[in-house]
Structure 1
Amino acid sequence: MVKRKSLFWRYGVAVLTVAIALVVTLFLATLIHKESPFMLFFIAILVSAWCGGMGAGLAATALAAILCNYFFLPPQYVLSIASWEQGLRLTIFVLEAICICTAIAILNSARVRAQQSQVAALHCQATLLQSEERFRLLIEGVKDYAIFMLDADGIVASWNAGAARITGYKAREAIGQHYSRFYTYTDIESGIPQQELQTAIAQERLETEGWRIRRDGSRFWANVVTTALKDSSGEIQGFSQVVRDVSDRQRSEELLRQSQERLHLTLEASQIGIWDWNLHTHELKWSLQQEALFDLAPGTFAGTYEAVLDRIYPEDRASFSEAITRALERTGEFEQEFRILSADGNIRWLAGQGKVFYDDADRAIWMTGINRNISEQKQAAARIQAVEREKDFLLKEVHHRVKNNLQMISSLLSLQTNYVSDRQTLEILKSGEARIFSMALVHDLLYRSQSQNFVQINLADYIETLVNNLYSTYDTAKLNCKQVTLKLATEPIWVSIDIAILCGLIINELTTNAMKHAFKKRQFGQICIAVQFEEPQTHNHVILKVSDDGIGLPLELNWQNTKSLGLQIVNILTNQLKGNIELTKKDFGTEFIVRFSI
């Protein structure tokens, strides 16, 4: 419908303007009879072409040519051309009209294009203004970055909110100032601000880091990107700067650097090397200290597992490979001590430790670890073992000599008994001999020990040997008893030499007294000796029991204050043990109980 109205309007204007031109020409026919009748029709054609376009102009031309031929060219009121002159005039009119229409169409097209260009220009301008506004809002809205412009001389030309937050300067304080005011005094004296601008011009973009100064005088570590802004001819127009406060990162990097330096010094001082093994690429990476441990120059390690095996002592290669395989296939942990051959042919001991890492499919992908130089520890351990062997030899020799000396004294006492007829004197000599034997027996057991422990003795073994010797020493036939049996109830208890000797002397005295006095006019008797822990869980307190089933002690006897040398010795020895002793009297026999701590 709109298209029809437009078409009707365009061609309606053509008809109307031609009709008006005809009426006016007819009205002025008397005045322009001798002139060209086409003058006013040119105006109609021009108006039709301007308002209706090329089609309306051509339509007006055709209609005007017909009307001129009918009304103004002889013969009038007949549509015919009487002569060639009239045909030529009409043809010229049509051609001129067509030229006018064409010119008008071209002008209209140019006008439309101009209007369209103007509209497009207005749209671009509006878009540009909107884009600039958005960019301005974006720049001003950035709080974590200082973004500002400098002119060609380094004067601040713009300032965003991020710049104000980071530096403390407001826009009115910063704009118009040279940007070097944000640098340290040392940098300004060194000409660094200007040097950076010159470098930015040469490279078009420069990224630097350094100290900057805030408005309050405090410093911050800044990452700065400076971009040179040039026009189409290459002339510098200014600079843009993007500044970011990376003080936290700089502190973290400094702490990391210090930590790595301390770690490096620690590893170097402790002679620890670090290695990483990529199990996919089979590439091995060594630290410089690791190369030093293997007596390699820095950077000369080949980076392969085979190169490691080549440096390991031949006798240790198999066990080293087995430890690696065990870690990769089963345990995930590597720990091995091995030897390497240094360049000068010396052997160096290393202790290796490592851990295997796996992917999501539980496949070993990485192994990392350390190696420590333990050569000094190995040498120290060897020296300690040598000292221990020497000490053991000396202690064994001491025990042997003490035992021999005591046995010599015991033998002299035994020989002396052959020349003594007095029974009391004989008993005294035999008691002394037994006491000396109990002390000599400790040294003899230590000398014969296979445990290489020369400071402690098994109390159970010692008591068993001691009691058996006492039993064989006393001739039961001379006692008023046909048979005295010994019953032992002991458990392994390791004690020092001093405690063993004291316990041996106590058992010697109590057992000897029982053999001499407990079984008078008896056909048989039994002596029981027991040594055990009072509390099996703690192993700190020991109970020593010596009992018999003989006639017992007289009721009126004060055994703790008696003239009997044996009981006096027992009390003295118990005090030396820092223990206590008690006597339990039974219907038949006695029982002495000694408690002490070890």
Structure 2
Amino acid sequence: MRNDSGEVVSILGVTRDISERKRSDAALKESEEKYRILVEHSSDLIWSLDSTGCFTYASPSWERITGYSPSVIIGANFNSIVHPDDLQICTDSINNAVHLKKMQSSTVYRIKHADGSWHIHEATGTPVFGPDGVSNSIVGFSRDITESREAEEKIQNLLKDKELILKEVHHRVKNNMSTILNLLTLQLDMQDNPHTKGVLFDAAGRVQSMMILYDKLYRSDSESVLSLKDYFTALVGEIIGLFPGKESLKLKLNIDDFMLSTKVLSPLGIIINELITNSMKYAFPDYSNAMISLTVSMKENRVQIIFRDNGRGLPESVSFENSTGFGMQLISMLTSQIGGQISIEREGGTGFIIEFNV
């Protein structure tokens, strides 16, 4: 301020505290620097497209990954580098982002790199809206997934080769078992000793149960699991078919259809063979009023198998603990092998109940 003589006698001023603004500016600058570093050193391709499909931004990673410098990409239309067969996929993804107003992810397409090679890329894009709510650009990122796709394809081819090899192994094992079964049957027909014939007959039945399993594996789409219903139905029919006069036998099957591992099915098949064979050989004086039933169910990952016959019954003196017969010992051993428990019921014939968890 000046006096009447024009001399400055005082100064009037206004001050404002801009500390907060300075801190905000510094924080903004730091944030921008962080994002700049992230973008420039990203292993992904970061880009933006305008409404015509032309690139308006390309991160420095473009040159490192595709061989194109950002200056070459910016201004170019995306269809100049996208494979002709994939143009529709990319166009649809862009249109969906704009019109549906939401992010589009996992768009897979091929682009030509600067060296002329085609690479598989996967992109995610998000529309950017102006003040009027209209989208006029899309920002996104993409990555080269060629190596991972080739690795996946290689793994799938190896798995197919493995399946073919396993099927061939199952087929050959089945054929070898068939040869063994034929040899046992031939030897059985040549024997006069009842005990020897019985041993050979039992052995043939055990081989047959495994042969049926491998036959099912050979015909199955899976080499590790099978339908228990399909396996047991075929197995029971084959075992009973070995005995003369089986036409008079009444057979009741009530088997739930579920899948089990072959590691479990193999011992189960031998167990069922032993139970049926014992009933057919020892339970009935003849088959005129004979009945065999097999019930299998699974509840809450626990399987229950109930086998019954209406034959003469099993003496009280015979149990898994004191039996000297190989068949009973084999059943007990295989039940333990699958982590199960087995019990005997003696009313109205003989029944066996097997339970185990899967």
Report the TM-score range of the alignment, normalised by the length of the smaller protein.
0.7 to 0.9
The residue number in structure 2 matching 1:455 is: 224
Provide the rounded CA distance (Å) in 2 between the counterparts of 1:460 and 1:286.
60
The structure number with the bigger radius of gyration is 1
1:10-159 maps to which residues of 2 (within 5 A)? 129=9, 132-135=10-13, 138=14
> Which residue is equivalent to 2:90?
320
User: Is residue 71 of structure 2 the alignment partner of residue 299 of structure 1?
Assistant: yes
**For the residues of structure 1 that align with 2:115 and 2:55, how far apart are their CA atoms?**
28
CA contact (8 A) 2:293 2:308 kept: yes
Q: Which residue of 2 aligns with 1:430?
A: 201
Aligned to 2:262: 497
Give the drift of 1:564: 2.6
Match in the other structure for 1:513? 278
418-427 vs 319-328, which moves further: 319-328
Compute the TM-score of the two structures, normalised by the length of structure 2.
0.87
SS at match of 1:368: strand
Residue in structure 2 matching 1:567, options 328, 336, 340: 328
The 5-angstrom pairing of residues 335-374 of structure 1 reads 335-358=106-129, 363-374=134-145
Question: Is residue 532 from structure 1 mapped to residue 297 from structure 2 by the alignment?
Answer: yes
Partner of 1:411: 182
Aligned counterpart, 1:473: 242
Query: Which one of the candidate residues 131, 142, 150 is aligned to 1:379?
Result: 150
**Do the aligned partners of residues 313 and 409 (structure 1) sit closer, same or farther apart at CA in structure 2, a change above 3 Å counting?**
same
Whether the 8 Å CA contact 1:459–1:492 is kept in 2: the answer is yes
Alignment CA distance shift 1:124-1:411 (3 Å): farther
Query: Is 1:257 equivalent to 2:33 in the alignment?
Result: yes
Q: Paired residue for 2:102?
A: 332
Paired residues for 1:230-269 under 5 Å: 246=22, 249-250=25-26, 253-254=29-30, 256-258=32-34, 260-265=36-41, 267-268=42-43
Q: What residue is the counterpart of 2:250 in the other structure?
A: 485
Q: Percent identity?
A: 27
The Cα offsets for residues 124-177 of structure 1, whole Å up to 9 and x where unpaired, read as 869x64xx3423xx45xx5658xxxxxxxxxxxxxxxxxxxxxxxxxxxxxxxx
Q: Is the 8 A contact 1:294 1:311 kept in 2?
A: no
* CA distance, structure 2, for counterparts of residue 319 and residue 251 of structure 1: 41
Matched letter for residue 595 of structure 1:
E
**Structure 1 residues 250 and 355: CA distance shift in structure 2, 3 A:** closer
Q: Alpha-carbon deviation of 1:376? A: 0.6
In the other structure, the counterpart of 2:51 is 279
Give the CA deviation at 1:283.
Answer: 5.7
Counterpart contact for 1:290–1:371, Cα < 8 Å: no
Partner in structure 2 of residue 589 of structure 1 = 349
Deviation (angstroms), 1:529:
1.8
Indicate if the aligned counterparts of 1:292 and 1:298 stay in contact, CA closer than 8 A: no
Which structure 1 residue ranges, 5 or more long, are not aligned? 1-120, 146-243
- Write the distance in 2 (CA, Å) between the matches of 1:281 and 1:528: 72
Match of 1:544 among 296, 300, 305: 305
Counterpart residue identity of residue 594, structure 1:
I
Distance 2:184 2:52 in 1: 84
| Higher helix fraction (1 or 2) | 1
Distance of 2:333 and 2:143 partners within structure 1: 57
Report the residue type matching 1:340 in the other structure: I
Aligned-partner SS, 2:108:
strand
CA distance in 2, matches of 1:584, 1:331: 69
Distance 1:419 1:356, change over 3 A: same
Change in CA separation of 1:362 and 1:262 when aligned onto 2, cut-off 3 Å = closer
Q: Which amino acid aligns with 1:264?
A: E
Task: After TM superposition, give the deviation of residue 431 of structure 1 in Å.
Answer: 1.1
Backbone CA RMSD of aligned residues: 3.0
Length, aligned pairs only: 356
- Please give the TM-score of this superposition, normalised by the length of structure 1: 0.54
Q: Distance in 1 between matches of 2:352 and 2:92?
A: 62
d(CA) in 2 for partners of 1:458, 1:474: 26
CA displacement 1:194-218 (0-9 Å, x = unmatched): xxxxxxxxxxxxxxxxxxxxxxxxx
**How many angstroms apart in 2 are the aligned matches of 1:462 and 1:403?**
15
* Cα deviation, residue 432, structure 1: 0.6
Cα distance between partner residues in 2 of 1:255 and 1:421: 96
- One-letter amino acid of the counterpart of residue 582, structure 1: S
Instruction: Give the Cα–Cα distance (whole angstroms) in 1 for the partners of residues 342 and 65 of structure 2.
Output: 64
**One-letter identity of the residue aligned with 1:326:** N
Name the structure 2 match of 1:311. 81
| Separation of aligned partners in 2, 1:249 and 1:331 | 32
- Tell me which amino acid in the other structure corresponds to 1:318: Q
Instruction: String of CA shifts for 1:507-542, please: whole Å, max 9, x gaps.
Output: 11111112222332452233222222232xxxx322
Q: CA deviation at 1:473?
A: 1.9
Change (3 A) 1:251 1:583: same
Secondary structure at 1:550's aligned position in 2?
Answer: coil
In the other structure, the counterpart of 1:45 is: none
Conserved? CA contact 2:62–2:70, under 8 Å: no
State the match for 1:15 in structure 2.
Answer: none
**Aligned residue in 2 for 1:557:** 318
- The question of whether the paired residues in 1 share the 8 Å contact of 2:127 and 2:135 is answered with yes
How far apart, CA to CA, are the structure 2 residues paired with 1:490 and 1:366?
62
The separation in 2 between residues aligned to 1:544 and 1:359, in whole angstroms, is 69
Rounded Cα–Cα distance in structure 1 between residues aligned with 2:245 and 2:132: 83
Contact preservation (8 Å) 2:245, 2:287: no
**Residue deviations 1:348-385 (CA, integer Å, cap 9, x gap):** 11011112344676643432211110011011112112
Aligned counterparts of 1:332 and 1:567: Cα–Cα separation in 2: 68
